Structure 1
Amino acid sequence: DLVSDLKLVIKKQIVIIDSAPTTLDPLVTEELDRLGIDPVATIPLDEEIYEYDLKLKSLLDLPDTSKAVIAVNDLMIKLLSKN
């Protein structure tokens, strides 16, 4: 709605859902459908992020096996390959 109100020219809108459960709630998917927006990716809830946050460790040090790191890597590959 903000895009319309501001009369912005947007080629494509995407949604990235962070800390997502395994299955999205039907209310979320219904709203995305209503808006005509496809969720490009979901970044799963990752306990390692919580642990790093508690220990004040940089998220840049997360291992490549982290669920969130894997999801972000997959997202970047997907987005960059569409150019």
Structure 2
Amino acid sequence: SLMKPNPAPIHRAALAVDASSTRCVLVGDSTSDIEGGRAAEVRTIGFANKPGKRTLLLRAGADAITDGTDGMAELARALHRELPN
């Protein structure tokens, strides 16, 4: 009952690092990851690691999408866009 999309594990992770949800980002490759992040009120980046996932992750409400073609640089750019200064 506490698996995503339940926000409890995401809240626990934020508490473990003493971070507010406004400073957290969840990177996930499933719609339940994105739904859980939204339920926990954290920013979400969908990792579209398979064909067709981009559309599914966007429909689930991902704030940004990466497919990893540019490696970690693409993820870093998405994080920079999604985190407030």
For the aligned pair, the TM-score class normalised by the smaller chain equals 0.3 to 0.5
Structure with larger Rg = 1
Please give the TM-score of this superposition, normalised by the length of structure 2: 0.39
Please give the TM-score of this superposition, normalised by the length of structure 1: 0.40
